[in-house]
Structure 1
Amino acid sequence: MLISRRRNLEFAVGAHIFVKVSPMKGVMTFGKKGKPSHRFIGPFEILERVGTLAYRVALPPNLAGVHNVFHILMLWKYMSNHSHVMNYKPLQLTSNLSFEERPTQILDRQGRRLQNKVIQMVNVKWLNHSEEEATQEIET
């Protein structure tokens, strides 16, 4: 017996959604390879449904070079709440909906001791992230 773990997604025309974007592939951050974390931008309004799994989205003029039809897996439902205020800082997106991650500040330094050597680690704040989302990287 096969159990489907997918959620049934469906959006109404006129609803607001977020669009998933990801960092550029191949950008090495302090020599660290890893899975890039995705970001959601928006909210944007759905203009129409295209087929069974795609939607046409109203994009702002600064994203005019991006195709405005997205697969349903690239969308995330926006739950409107009048009491919350969004701190919106626009990302510099490329035409393939990716953005570059760059370190902006070293917040902390510390040494991690292994069996017979000490590795210097730094706490790095990234360009499009807050200080709470800082990561630990090797100093080299």
Structure 2
Amino acid sequence: MKKDIAEAKCNNCQQVKYEHQSPAGLLQRMPISEWKWEKIAMDFVVCLPKTLGKFDSIWVVVDRLTKSTHFILVR
């Protein structure tokens, strides 16, 4: 399609089909963890209603390999 548009004599086609990004480079593989809990992601869920134990937030820890999670109550 790019070749057809580049060779087209139509002025409208040349103006509308403009490249907005430079060509991407070669794709690189992401490293894969070998062990569970080697690479983790953490986040907080905040501004929740307080519980009887005065907890109002949750600390979320996720293992990126197995997608296992821990939800830890925090104040």
- Identify the structure with the greater helix proportion: 2
- Identify the structure with the greater strand proportion: 1
Give the TM-score taking structure 1 as reference length: 0.21
Larger radius of gyration, structure 1 or 2? 2
Give the TM-score taking structure 2 as reference length: 0.32
